[in-house]
Amino acid sequence: MKLEGKVAIVTGASRGIGLEVAKQMGQQGATVIINGLNADEGAKRTKELTDSGIKAEFMAFDVTDEAKVTENIKAVGDKYGKIDILINNAGGLGGRSRFEEMTTEFYRSVLALNLDSVFFASRAAIPYLKKGSHPTIINVTSNAAWNAGGPGAGMYGTSKAGVHTITRALAKDLAEYGIRVNAVSPGTVDTDFHSQIKSTKPEVFQSWAKNIMLGRLGQPKDIASVVAFLASEDAAFITAETIQIGGGQALGI
């Protein structure tokens, strides 16, 4: 198996893309530490993974809490003596607000969720990634970074554009240690991220596929397979790249 013996942390992995990433990497032999906020949900998902033969653990912590991120990632690194893979998947829209009415609190909360979290986790993991085998950081961003998001989602797009830039900056900073850093930039993926509009405006949700070149929305497994490839040694010469998945979408998010 391509990831046998690897230790991987996946933030925001209680559901959706993050959970599928953990599943696919676990199937390839990695020990996966999944993160989320809800301990009950995390325990349930961890059991699902372990029942299928995957080596998995769950850690409940808020990725915007600098101290908790550092504490928990250090605990993983100390336990295994290394970290091979860090997937910064946690993030979200955080709500919608146009700039004229936007509060500073909202502005900072969206940046914290999508960008601070990448910084906190990456910084904490670096000493342990240096001890890993073909270590890598993979950040999950969004096509909203290219088009600035839809109305009211400007801060989401802005924060995800920051993830693109910090990916390249980290790659330059860590290349001398053999640590690769890449990002994947999904288009519209059918996850809980879109649950509200899917339930309240199903016709709008269904129409989105018409604006995608492939004629369908993405599924978590579509993204996870690319992430698992980037985490493997098959991608040993890929760094400072942002791989766009499901392009050709004309809608913001």
Instruction: Write out the chain's pLDDT in tens, 253 residues.
Output: 799 999 999 999 999 999 999 999 999 999 999 999 999 999 999 999 999 999 999 999 999 999 999 999 999 999 999 999 999 999 999 999 999 999 999 999 999 999 999 999 999 999 999 999 999 999 999 988 988 888 899 999 999 999 999 999 999 999 999 999 999 999 888 776 656 666 676 665 576 667 777 778 889 999 999 999 999 999 999 999 999 887 544 333 3
Q: Which residues pair with 86 in a beta bridge?
A: 9, 137
Nearest to 87 by CA among 144, 165, 7, 154: 7
Instruction: Give the Cα separation of 182 and 235 in Å (integer).
Output: 10
- Determine which one of 80, 128, 156, 177 is catalytic: 156
pTM: 0.92
**Domains of the chain, first to last:** 7-189+220-245 (3.40.50.720)
Give the model's pLDDT for residue 118.
98
Non-local (6+) Cβ contacts of 143 within 8 A are: 185, 186, 187, 188, 244, 246, 247, 249
- Over the Cα atoms of the chain, what is R_g? 17
Q: Which residues pair with 105 in a beta bridge?
A: none
Could you confirm whether 107 is annotated as catalytic? no
Contact 125, 86 (CB under 8 A): yes
H-run or E-run covering 178: none
